[in-house]
Amino acid sequence: MAKKNKILIVDDEAFFRELLKDLLSEKFDIVEAEDGIEVVSLVERECPDIIILDIEMPGKNGIDVCVELKSNYVTRAIPVIMVTSRSEKEELIAGLNAGADDYVTKPINQTELLARIDAHLRRSMEYYSRLEKKDLLLLIELSELISASRNPLNILDTIVDKMSDVVDVARCSIVSADGKGGLLVKASSDDLPQRDLKIDMEKYPEIEEALRTKDTVVVDSIKDDPLMRSVQKYTAALAFDSIVVAPIVRRESIIGTLFLRTATKLGNGANERVVKLCTLVANISANALENALLFESMKTTQFYLEELALRDGLTNLYNHNYFYARLDEEFARARRYNNALSCIFIDIDNFKTVNDRYGHLNGDVVLCEVANLVHEVARESDLAARYGGEEFVILLPNTQSEGAMKMAKRLHSSIRASSFKAIRGEGVTVSVGVATFENDNMNSIDQLVQLADSAMYRGKKAGKDQVVFHEAKSPDPDDSADH
Task: Give the start-to-end residue ranges of the domains of the chain.
Answer: 6-127, 133-297, 310-480
- pLDDT class of 478 with cuts at 50, 70, 90: very low
pLDDT at position 477: 40
Q: Which residues contact 254 (CB under 8 A, 6 or more apart)?
A: 211, 214, 247, 248
Query: Exactly one of 68, 208, 290, 390 is catalytic; which is it?
Result: 390
Q: Which residues contact 443 (CB under 8 A, 6 or more apart)?
A: none
- pLDDT class of 476 with cuts at 50, 70, 90: very low
Residues 324 and 326: their CA atoms lie apart, in Å, by 5
Q: Which residues contact 163 (CB under 8 A, 6 or more apart)?
A: 138, 169, 172, 189, 260, 262, 277, 278, 281
SS3 98: coil
Residues 338 and 359: their CA atoms lie apart, in Å, by 47
pLDDT at position 160: 82
What CATH number should be reported for the domain whose range is 133-297?
Answer: 3.30.450.40
Res 377 pLDDT > 50: yes
- pLDDT class of 393 with cuts at 50, 70, 90: very high
Alpha-carbon Rg for the chain, nearest whole angstrom, is 27
Architecture of the domain made up of 310-480: 2-Layer Sandwich (3.30)
CATH C-level class of 6-127: alpha beta
Higher per-residue pLDDT: 304 or 274: 274
pTM score = 0.41
Cis peptide leading into 247, omega within 30 of 0? Answer: no
- Catalytic residue list contains 32: no
**Fold agreement between 6-127 and 133-297:** no
- pLDDT class of 347 with cuts at 50, 70, 90: very high
* Lowest-pLDDT range of 48-62, 146-160, 333-347: 146-160
% pLDDT > 90, the chain: 33
Phi, psi of 271 (to 5 degrees): -75, 170
Res 127 pLDDT > 80: no
Residues 316 and 326: their CA atoms lie apart, in Å, by 17
DSSP lists the bridge partners of residue 8 as 31, 51
% pLDDT > 70, the chain: 79
Higher per-residue pLDDT: 89 or 45: 45
